[in-house]
Structure 1
Amino acid sequence: MKPQSWLRRNWLWAAGGAFLTIHLATWLMQTAMKRSVRSEAVNKQSAAED
């Protein structure tokens, strides 16, 4: 009997880890973009007031 590969033994952990990694990365990117847009809006508003 051949020894099973690591991926075949732990496919659920690998899939779960990939899922969480992708969602964490997209959440971080989304948060960074929201923060960037907010700061840009504040800069435009303060420039308009001057």
Structure 2
Amino acid sequence: MKPRSWIRRNWLWAAGGAFLAVHLATWLMQRAMRSAVRSEAALRHKAVEEKLD
């Protein structure tokens, strides 16, 4: 009988790890985009205020 590979023995751990990695990556990207949008909006707001003064 052939020895089973690591992925065949631990497929559930591998699938769970991949699932968590994908969700963590998307959460981090959303957080970075949200921060970028907020900072850009703040810069635009500041520019508008300076224009009015």
TM-score tier, shorter chain, comes to over 0.9
Paired residues in the alignment total 50
Identity %: 70
Larger Rg: 2
Question: 1:38 maps to what in 2?
Answer: 38
Q: Name the SS of the counterpart of 2:42 in structure 1.
A: helix
Structure 1 runs, 4 residues or longer, greater than 6 Å off: none
The aligned amino acid for 2:5 is S
Question: 1:12 maps to what in 2?
Answer: 12
Q: Give the Cα separation in 1 of the matches to 2:28 and 2:6.
A: 30
The aligned amino acid for 1:47 is A
> What TM-score results when the alignment is normalised by the length of structure 2?
0.93
Which ranges of structure 2 fall in alignment gaps of 5 or more residues? none
**How many Å apart are 1:16 and its aligned residue?**
0.2
1:13-48 CA deviation, whole Å, 9 max, x = no partner?
A: 000000000000000000000000000000000000
> What TM-score results when the alignment is normalised by the length of structure 1?
0.98
The aligned amino acid for 2:7 is L
